[in-house]
Structure 1
Amino acid sequence: MTEPRVQGDPAFVLLRLYEKALPEVYGYLLARCGDRALAEELTSEAFLGAVAACRKENAPVVSTAWLIGVARHKLADHWRRTEREQRGLRLVPDVSVEDPWDERLDALRARQVLASLSVPHRAALTLRYVDGLRVGEVATHLGRTVPATEALLTRAKAAFRRSYQEKEGRDD
């Protein structure tokens, strides 16, 4: 009778491949997104996702090509999230024609300032103050924790205030 073979953790196979595949996965992502920080973030997400997939029953065969496929999916997920955020921002209704002139100017300036902010800041401010969601609901929509969302909103409000005041100074 033969002894049953003990199989090692498939994640260790991935670990051995990591050093060889890392530059290729990162290079693949960087060439497509053009942003080093985003490419680094997506590369780490790809490897973490790969580790999780390798630990499942019927784990896939780990190779550099497979890792690049995982990275491709992570990049597509990022683009979908960004598009959803931008689509939500485009749903902001136009200012009513019946608004007094000063309110119209303030609303136009606020929209210009909002459009100039980064996507995360725009999304957080729009969900919280235009759509009127509570912080917990904003966190859910953005896929963040409540404390992280509170910090994001604090930074976004400060950026908005700075930009609004700068724009206001130029218009006077």
Structure 2
Amino acid sequence: MSSEPEYADRSNALLALYDRVLPDVYGYLRTRCGSTALAEDLTAETFLAAVVAVRSGASPTPAWLVTVARNKLVDHWRREARERRSLQLVEPLPGPDDPWDARLDVLRARDVLQRLGPHHRTALTLRYVDDLPVPEVARLLGRTRHATEALIVRARAAFRAAYEEGSGDD
């Protein structure tokens, strides 16, 4: 077990890390989840995980905190997906000869992303916003690579349909 001075040093280091990294962790979550309240809750959960880590002898880093924040967001989306799970109609997928090179309006794209189901939103966010490779997305989602690739294709099709549906509003 660690001595009191070591624990106090790690606790002070965590407080300094909190002051330095809080805006980054909160900003990361806020831009991805679209809800201030949810971003605040997930930020709190992230730093509570850091407290637990310090108590067990670890010294969290900024990169570790962002990874924990990402995992907290993915866990939230998984819970949301389980709560909303129901029968869904699957539309035919677009063929490989169907390029979609439109320039997306960032605010409208975020709005469309928030309206997608949590499984689609999670896959697209991890793949295209966080720029993770498909194998890493698959690992985070607890799916096989092929299932994740299919999910991303369906998510892109759903995003495209929702985006184009709103194009008459401008």
TM-score after normalising by structure 1? 0.45
Q: Bigger radius of gyration, 1 or 2?
A: 1
TM-score after normalising by structure 2? 0.45
Greater RCO structure (CA 8 Å; 6+ sep): 2
